[in-house]
Amino acid sequence: MKHIFVLLTTTFLFVKNGQAQEVIQRKFEKMGSSFEITLVHSNPIYAQQLIDESIAEIDRIERLISSWDKNSQTSLVNKMAGIRSQVVSKELFDLILRANTIARLTDGAFDLSYASVDKLWSFNREEITPPSPSVVEASVAKIGFEKIKMDTEKQTVFLLEKGMKIGFGAIGKGYAADRVKSLLLEKGVEAGIVNASGDMSAWGTQPDGSPWQVGLINPLNKNKVFSWFPLLNTAVVTSGDYERYLLMDGKRYGHIINPKTGYPSQGVVSCTVFAPKAELADALATALFVMGSETGIDFIDQLPNVEALMITDNGKIIASKNIDLDENI
């Protein structure tokens, strides 16, 4: 996502304990979005190999959670909706379990099963004729995380009703960013940032010891960063309506669906969440869009180790209680 980016304040080469530490960066396209991996390492050739391994890991995750790939485990779960349970890998099972925990926590604002209404809307930045209310209602009836039955012993997932579907659009990139960070940590990389199209997982510091900095841009005023935040072993994720949206009666609606109504969300243009893991931040950023700014920030204020900042379509910036905007601007 374009209104969030990282500031590198150090030169790309820095000597630490007698060893030259370099900042190695690569941009690439995956999961239909742009990724960027930034590593601090003394061996740039090895660092490039690690980026290759990271890309292979992202491909693997995409094959697991993709709804486009007819043979993915996710597609099989969807195909068997209303028919029977489907055995899945432990990894996918656990991801769905965690997603359902967030669904419960957000009272269904984030819900993997939103996907049954996905086909009703196309977010091509154009004016559309809305589907008839009865069609929307029929699709909404298929939504409901409590109808995703999971059997821990058998490691199966069963979507109870025909026509139900799950989709990982709101959590997949965050999960991928976390996985790549873990992989790189296991390989001994002491510092870096994985940026999955604005879903960022950071660890360590820049070579000179200063923290990574992330800049937020107000989509309503794209020319300047309105706030800088240090990233200290945290993840930061932004959901925005500026890339995928549609117009109805000249009004703008973002690509996040309110699972209770089946209609696209309105009112929030950008939502940034800071959390220990990108997966959690990703799911919460999507949920906040549905909750709206006031309910959303109230909700975040009840959670430990999570902060958020939202921008409404009338230009209001609202932040959770531990963010001091004056200090960060």
Site residues (CB under 6 A) for ligand AMP? 110-111, 114, 167, 169-170, 239, 255-257, 259, 282, 285-286, 290
- Closest distance of CB 55 from ligand AMP, Å: 21
CB of 239 to Mg ion, least distance (A): 5
**Residue 22 site contact among ligand AMP, Mg ion, none (CB < 5 to 8 Å, cut-off depends on kind):** none
Report how far apart, in Å, the C-alpha atoms of 50 and of each of 57, 71, 195, 243 are: 10, 28, 15, 31
**Angle, CA 238 vertex, CA 232 and CA 243 arms, to 5°:** 150
Measured from the CB atom, the residue of 40 and 170 that comes closer to ligand AMP is 170
Query: Do β-strands 225-231 and 148-151 pair in parallel, antiparallel, or remain unpaired?
Result: unpaired
As measured in angstroms, the least distance from the Cβ of 285 to ligand AMP is 6
Nearest CB to ligand AMP, comparing residues 21 and 106? 106
| CB 17 to ligand AMP: min, Å | 39
Give the one entry of ligand AMP, Mg ion, none that residue 205 binds, where binding means its C-beta sits below a cut-off of 5 to 8 angstroms depending on kind: none
Q: Which two tokens stand for residue 69?
A: 């790939």
Task: Return the ∠ at Cα 57 (arms to 165 and 108), rounded to 5°.
Answer: 30
Give the pair of three-digit tokens for residue 289: 């869009």
User: Site for Mg ion (CB under 5 A): how many residues?
Assistant: 4
**Of 144-163, which residues contact Mg ion (CB under 5 A)?**
none
CA distance 123 to 172: 19
- Cα 166 from Cα 67, distance rounded (Å): 8
The reply to whether 241 sits near Mg ion by the rule CB under 5 A is no
Identify which of residues 4 and 285 has a Cβ nearer to ligand AMP in the complex. 285
CA nearest neighbour of 275 among 288, 257, 291: 288
CA distance 6 to 9: 9
What binding mask, one character per residue, do residues 258-287 give for Mg ion by CB under 5 A, x or -?
A: ------------------------x--xx-
**Among ligand AMP, Mg ion, none, residue 299 binds (CB under 5-8 Å by kind):** none
Cβ–Cβ under 8 Å, residues 287 and 110? yes
Measured from the CB atom, the residue of 257 and 300 that comes closer to ligand AMP is: 257
The strand pairing partners of 87, in sequence order, are 156
User: Which residue, 140 or 170, is less far from ligand AMP as judged by CB?
Assistant: 170
Q: Which residue bears the tokens 């109870």?
A: 160
The smaller minimum CB distance to ligand AMP, of residues 231 and 271, is found at 271
Smallest separation, CB 49 to Mg ion (Å): 30
Dist CA 118 CA 126 (whole Å): 16
Judged by beta carbon, residue 51 or residue 117, the one nearer ligand AMP is 117
CA 170 to chain centre: 5
Residues forming contacts to Mg ion in the complex (CB under 5 A) are 170, 282, 285-286
